Amino acid sequence: MPQIKAIITDYIGTLTNARFYTLDASMNKLHQALSDSGFPTDKQQFLESYAKAHEKYRLVRYGELREVTNAIWVSEALSNLGYDVAPEDSRMKTALNVFFQDYVDSLELRPYTKKLLKKINTVCKLGLLSNFTYAPVVYSSLRKLGIAEFFNTIAVSGENGWRKPHRKIFQDTLQRLQVKADEAVYIGDSPMEDIKGAKAAGLRTIFVSSQFYNINDLYCSKQEPDLVMTDLKEIYYNFSQITNI
Q: Residue 187 in contact with residue 7, Cβ under 8 Å?
A: yes
Which residues neighbour 77 within 8 Å (Cβ) at sequence distance 6 or greater?
46, 49, 50, 52, 53, 54
Looking at the predicted structure, is the pLDDT value of residue 117 above 80?
A: yes
So what's the architecture of 6-18+108-242 in CATH?
3-Layer(aba) Sandwich (3.40)
Strand boundaries in 119-203, DSSP class E: 125-130, 153-156, 184-188
Tell me, what's the pLDDT at 46?
Answer: 98
Tell me, what's the pLDDT at 241?
Answer: 84
Read off the pLDDT of residues 5-64 as tens digits, 9 standing for 90 and up. Answer: 999 999 999 999 999 899 999 999 999 999 999 999 999 999 999 999 999 999 999 999
The letter for the amino acid at 97 is N
- Could you give the 3-state DSSP secondary structure of residue 124? coil
Tell me, what's the pLDDT at 227?
Answer: 96
Q: Which of 235, 185, 180 lies closest to 210 in space, CA to CA?
A: 235
Q: Which of 245, 62, 69, 16 lies closest to 165 in space, CA to CA?
A: 62
Looking at the predicted structure, is the pLDDT value of residue 1 above 90?
A: no
As a whole number, the mean pLDDT across the chain is: 96
Read off the pLDDT of residues 186-216 as tens digits, 9 standing for 90 and up. Answer: 999 999 999 999 999 999 999 999 999 999 9
Helices 135-145 and 90-106, interaxial angle, to 10°?
40
CA–CA dist 33, 27 (Å, integer): 10
- For 130, other C-beta atoms within 10 Å of its C-beta total 27
Tell me, what's the pLDDT at 153?
Answer: 98
- For 220, other C-beta atoms within 10 Å of its C-beta total 10
Read off the pLDDT of residues 135-169 as tens digits, 9 standing for 90 and up. Answer: 999 999 999 999 999 999 999 999 999 999 999 99
